[in-house]
Amino acid sequence: MPSFMLTTNVAVADSAKFNAKASKLMAQITGKPEKFVCVSVRADTPMSFGGSADPCGYVVLVNLGGFKDNKAICGHVFTLLERELGLAKDRVYVEINAPNGADYGWNGSTFA
């Protein structure tokens, strides 16, 4: 159940295109089928980073079983955000979570 959740104060001109790219990235970095990837984007959200309302973002990545290389994954995410939304790497935090299957539900039950 890989998930990519972005909150940002910038507009996302083509949300379908961005969501598709984020979804493919999550499938690639987790090795899980894209049909299980969930992408959520909250754009144009009032927020600040370092006391400034300049363009910024906060990303939460979730994957049962964790990720293999957090530094490399962050690099891929920062590149996506910079290319697609113009978000500078020093204006974004990325939170990486690897919950237990018992902590997440889907299809009427949990993953454990």
Active site residues: 2
| CA within 13 Å, CB half, 40 | 10
User: What is the rounded distance in angstroms from the CA atom of residue 97 to the CA atom of residue 67?
Assistant: 9
Here the tokens at position 91 are 């204006």
User: What is the rounded distance in angstroms from the CA atom of residue 69 to the CA atom of residue 88?
Assistant: 22
Choose among 94, 111, 90: nearest CA to 102: 111
CA separation, residue 12 to residues 7, 40, 43 (Å): 11, 12, 6
